Amino acid sequence: MEGYGRMENVAKGDAGIGVVYSPMIWSDVEAITRQFDETWGHYAPFGNDKKLSMLLSYHFVLHYIEPATRGEIAHKNGQFMGVVLSRVVGQPVMFGNVAQEMAKIDERLNSTPAGHRALADLELGFEIERRMERQTDINDKAPAEVELFLVSSASRGHGVGGQLWSRTMDYFERSHAPAFYLHTDSDCDVSFYDRHGMKRIAEREEQRHPDDGRDPQMAPSKMYIYAGVPGRVKQTVA
């Protein structure tokens, strides 16, 4: 998948006129990171430190890209509108250079006390997610995962979220994945997953785990795992 060329699909229907869906290429990482930071990058302990916020967002995005076997971007007139990163067990990852890029970002984060503290908290959060996976045995039940589902405010009214979602379900079905899952938290609109036929199979409330050591100013109040069957979930998309 690495490269600069694109194979594009133009959306059909009035709401989606002019929206183009393309396989992700490496140069999309910058736009994904900017949107991620705009959506979720307001880390309370660091006030207005935009540079640190962007580095943390870049780490998050690379974390989601590293295992991904598919990425699809929505854009219109050159403007980023959304992305889904997903993976299916046994399929090749999109990019082989993510670990090296993440090491560079982590070195920059660890160069300051605030960055070091933030990175340690992020890594603890990812470990908690892995614990939740082990507790539910979800990786034994679902060979597919949505790593990142992100749409911009500019995408509203264009059906971008629904299109990206439906196309990802098509990918899972083509890959013969009987089930999939995703991680999310109370900072996201989890009602989207409820409306689209997914089941909440795990819930973790931060205040009930004070001994885990997470920074309460960074940690979401609740963390969830949702799971679903691709064909059934796709039927709920208008």
pLDDT band (50, 70, 90) for residue 157 = confident
Neighbouring residues of 94: CB distance < 8 A, sequence distance ≥ 6: 1, 2, 24, 65, 68, 69, 70, 71
pLDDT tens digits for range 159-196 = 899 999 999 999 999 999 999 999 998 888 888 899 98
Better-scored residue on pLDDT, 18 or 120: 120
pLDDT of residue 48: 72
pLDDT of residue 3: 32
pLDDT of residue 193: 92
Three-point CA angle 137, 230, 36, nearest 5°: 80
Report all structural domains of the chain as residue ranges with CATH numbers, in order of start.
9-235 (3.40.630.30)
What's the whole-model pTM score?
0.89
pLDDT of residue 60: 95
pLDDT tens digits for range 66-96 = 999 999 999 998 899 999 999 999 999 999 9
pLDDT tens digits for range 97-148 = 999 999 999 999 999 998 998 899 999 999 999 999 999 999 999 999 999 9
Sequential DSSP letters for the chain:
--SS----EEPPSGGGTT-EEEE--GGGHHHHHHHHHHHH---GGGTT-HHHHHHHHHHHHHHHHTT-SEEEEEEETTEEEEEEEEEETTSPPS-S-HHHHHHHHHHHHTTSHHHHHHHHHHHHHHHHHHHHHHHHTHHHH-SEEEEEEEE-GGGTTTTHHHHHHHHHHHHHHHTT-S-EEEEEETTS-THHHHHTT-EEEEEEEGGG-GGG---TTTS-SEEEEEEE-HHHHHHT--
pLDDT of residue 216: 64
Mean pLDDT of 222-237: 92
Whether the CB-CB separation of 115 and 108 falls below 8 Å is answered with yes
Whether the CB-CB separation of 94 and 3 falls below 8 Å is answered with no
Whether the CB-CB separation of 18 and 76 falls below 8 Å is answered with yes
